[in-house]
Structure 1
Amino acid sequence: MVVVGAGKFGDKAITDRPTAEADARALYDLLSDPKYLTSPDRVILLTATDDEKRHSKKATRENIIKALNEALKKTGKDDLILFAFFGRGASVGDKTCLFTSETEFKERAKTGLLGSDLEPDLKAAKDRKLCLLLDVAFKGFDPGKEAIAEPSLRDVLSAVFGGEDRDEQPTPPDKFVMLSSIPSHPPLSKGGHGLFATSVIEALKGAADTDGYEPDGLVTVGELVKYVEKEVTDQTRAIGKTPKRKRPSRSSSGKS
C-alpha cells in the first residue's frame, strides 16, 4: 500500500496544500493499524516534509515510482494494491501530471508524476486487486501565459483499466478508482483535513459497513462509495458550498 501526501512545494508558482500531508498521515495511521487492516511494514508513506515518527520517504517522482514497484513485488495474485495520492496536479499537453515535492510548474513534465509513469507497474498488476484514491486539486498554481487544459485523467484510467480497446468492455471487477471531485472543482476541506479523506477514513473504520442485516466487518466498494458520496455532499452543504455529488470514475463490487 502506497500513500502519498505532497502538499509543500519549492516552486513559488505552486501554492502549498497543507491538508494533503495531514490526510496522507491520517490514512497511513489507519492502514498501518493491525486493528483495522494491516501492519506498518505493508504501508509506505511518502510526504513532502519529513515525518520520522512514521518513517516517511520524500514524495519525489522517483521515490513514488519505486514505492509502487515495491508494492508490486511484495504482493501476489489476488492481493490488494492501494495507491492513495493527496496533493495538486495539472495537465501537461494531453497527459495528467500529479505534483511531487520537487515539481517545478514549468518543468512538470519532467519533475511531476505522469499517468504514463504509473502505467508499467499498474499494468503488471493485472492479476492483483487495484484501488486508487485520488484527492487532487487541479487548481492552486500560476500558469503564467501558458494555457492549461482541464485534465481528462484518461491516461491514469488507461493505466488501471487498459487502453482504448477496453472502452466497450465491462469494467474489471477488481480494479477501482475514486476521485475526491471532478477536475474542475477543487476538493473541499474542513479544519485541517479534506472532506474526502475524512469520509474515506471513517468509512474504512466501519461507518460504511451497513449492507445486509448487520455489520460483517468488511467494507465493500459499494458501501465505501455510498458512504463517501453522502458524507461529502452533506458536509459540503453544511459549510455553505453548492452541493454537487462527487462520483468515482469507476467502481467494482469486490470487497476491500
Structure 2
Amino acid sequence: MSKRLYVGCAMWTHKAWTGRVAPKNAHERLRFYAGWCNAVEGNTTFYATPTRETVQSWAGQTGEDFRFVVKLPKVITHERRFQGIDADLSQFLHVIEPLGSRVRALWIQLPGSFAPVDLPALEGVLARLPDEHRYAVEVRHPLFFTDGPEARQLEKICGATGTEWVPFDTTAFFAKPPTSDAEREAWERKPRLPRRDRALTEQPVVRYLGRDSNAETEAGWQHWVDVVAGWVREGRTPTFFLHTPDNVDAPALARRFHDEVRTRVPDLEPLPRPEEPQEPGTLF
C-alpha cells in the first residue's frame, strides 16, 4: 500500500490564481484547485454555514481522494463557546454530509481567550460529537504552549476521543520584521506561539505560515519536511497546509513541499497533475 501525504492551502480560490491555477469561471475553481492540491482548509464554513446544495457542488468538483478539513462555525466556537449549540451543530453536520469521506476532520479552532480553565467545555462537546467524523482542535492561548500541565490536560482530552491537536507554526514568519503590506497585515493578525510538532493521532494536521519570499518560506519548512517524512514512515497520513502572507504562490509551494517529502519517502503517492486553465500563465 502506497503512502500518502495531503497538502493544501487556506482557500481554493484567490484573485491572483485566476488564469494560472484556475479559470475565470468561479464554478470551476475548486475543480482546478483539486488538480494542484489534494486537500484544503475549509475556512469558509467558519464565517457562515453554507447551504447543502453548495456543499454538494464542492463534492461534485472533487474526487473521492480529495480532503477537506472543515472548520466549525464561529457561532459555535467563538460566540457561544459550546453553550446552547445543539441546533447550530445539527444544521452544520447536516449541511456537510454530502462531502462524505472527503471530510478529513472537523476543525475546532478556538480563540486566544479560550484558556485551560475552559477545557471542560471542549471536553464536553468532544464527548458528544458523532463518531463518524474525526476532529482536530487548534488552540491559541499561550499557556497551552508552556510544556506544563495545561498541555498535558489538553492532550488527555484529545486522546480520549482520538482528536488531533493542530499546530499553527508561525515561527519562520516572525523570525524577522515584515517587509511588505501583506506581511505587515499578517504580523498584526497571526498568532505568535512556540512551534509544536507532536502528533496525537494517525492523521496529524499542520498549518505553516511562510514569508512573501518563496526561498524563505522553503527554508522555514525544512523542520517540517523532516517531521512529516518521519510521520509517513511511521505509517501516519499527515495533512500539511501551506500559508504565505499573500498566498499568491501557495498552491505551487504546497506541491514543492510534497516533492521534498517525497524525496525522503520515495513510495509516497504522487499528487495529481494540474489541469491547464483556459487563460495563459503559470506559477513562477
TM range (shorter): 0.3 to 0.5
- Greater percentage in strand: 1
Structure possessing the higher radius of gyration over alpha carbons: 2
Give TM-score scaled by structure 2 length.
0.34
Give TM-score scaled by structure 1 length.
0.37
Larger RCO: Structure 1 or Structure 2 (Cα < 8 Å, ≥ 6 residues apart)? 2
